[in-house]
Amino acid sequence: MQDAEKERQRRQRMRSVAIAWILAALVVLFFIVTIVRLGGSVAVRPL
């Protein structure tokens, strides 16, 4: 029974880690897509 509980916790932890990685990847993807959609000249503006 204890083994099953340990295994359940291990799988829960793995799922949480996977969700964290996916969210991080989405943040990076959205950042890159935003830069691409804005275009290269977005940083060129008068101060």
Partner 1 sequence: MADVAYSARVGTVEAATGGDVADYFALLKPRVMFLVVFTALVGLVAAPGSMHPVLAIASLICIAAGAGASGALNMWYDADIDAAMARTAARPVPRGLVSPEEARSFGTVLAIGSVLCLGLMANWLAAALLAFTIAFYIFVYTMWLKRTTPQNIVIGGAAGAFPPMIGWAAAGGGISLDSVVLFLIIFVWTPPHFWALALLRTRDYAKAGIPMLPVVAGPDATRLQILIYSLILAPLGMVPAIIGLGGTLYMIVASILGSLFVVMAFDCYSERQGEAADRAAKNLFAYSVLYLFLLFAVLLVEQGFGIDGSTLPSLWAL
The binding site for partner 1 (CB under 8 A) comprises: 4, 7-8, 11-12, 14-15, 18, 29, 32-33, 36-37
Q: Which amino acid is at 34?
A: T
Closest to partner 1 by CB, 12 vs 24, is 12
Closest to partner 1 by CB, 37 vs 47, is 37
Closest to partner 1 by CB, 3 vs 47, is 3
The torsion region of residue 2 among left (phi > 0), alpha (psi -120 to 50) and beta comes to alpha
The torsion region of residue 14 among left (phi > 0), alpha (psi -120 to 50) and beta comes to alpha
